[in-house]
Amino acid sequence: MQGGAHVGGHITLIFSIQDDADSLLEQGSRGAGLSLNRGVIIDAIGTPGNAVLTVDGDAPGHALHNLVLEELINFDPSISEYDWKLTHQGELPASQGFGLSAAGAIACALSIQRALGVDEELARGRAIHVAHRVERRLSGGLGDVAALHSGGIELRLEPGCPQLPDGLGGPGAVISWHEEIPLVVVWRTTSSQHTSNYIDDGEWKLAIRAAGEHCLFGLREGKWDASRWPELLSKSAEFAERSGLLADSGRIDLLNLIGSALAGAGFADGTLVARLCMLGESAVIIPSDLSMSDEWQDVVANQLQMRGMGAASASVASDALNLSVTAILD
Chain-centroid distance, C-alpha 238: 21
Lowest mean pLDDT of 23-37, 47-61, 245-259, name the range: 245-259
Residue-wise pLDDT tens digits, 103-118: 999 999 999 999 999 9
Nearest to 177 by CA among 213, 150, 156, 157: 150
* pLDDT score recorded for residue 326: 40
* pLDDT score recorded for residue 195: 62
Percent of all residues in the chain with a pLDDT value above 90, rounded to a whole number: 85
Q: For the range 54-57, what are the long-range contacts, defined as Cβ-Cβ under 8 Å and sequence gap of 24 or more?
A: 54/83, 54/84, 54/85, 54/86, 55/85, 55/86, 55/87, 55/88, 56/85, 56/86, 56/87, 56/88, 57/86, 57/87, 57/88, 57/89, 57/90
* pLDDT score recorded for residue 153: 98
Mean pLDDT, range 182-209, rounded to an integer: 81
Taking a C-beta distance cutoff of 8 angstroms, is the pair 213, 314 a contact?
no
State yes or no: pLDDT of 192 exceeds 70: no
> pLDDT tier at 327 (50, 70, 90 boundaries)?
very low
Residue-wise pLDDT tens digits, 233-265: 999 999 999 999 998 878 899 999 999 999 999
Residue-wise pLDDT tens digits, 273-287: 999 998 888 999 999
In 19-69, beta strands by DSSP E: 28-48, 53-57
DSSP alpha helix (H) spans, 173-330:
196-199, 202-219, 229-243, 251-264, 297-306
Mean pLDDT, range 164-169, rounded to an integer: 94
Which amino acid is it at 237?
A
Buried-state track 104-136, b at ≥16 Cβ within 10 A, e below 16: bbbbbbbbbbbbbebeeebbbbbbbbbbbbbbb
| Spatial separation of the C-alpha atoms in residues 47 and 251, rounded to whole Å | 46
| Spatial separation of the C-alpha atoms in residues 92 and 86, rounded to whole Å | 18
Residue-wise pLDDT tens digits, 299-314: 999 999 999 999 999 9
Complete domains list, the chain, with CATH: 2-178 (3.30.230.10), 182-315 (3.30.70)
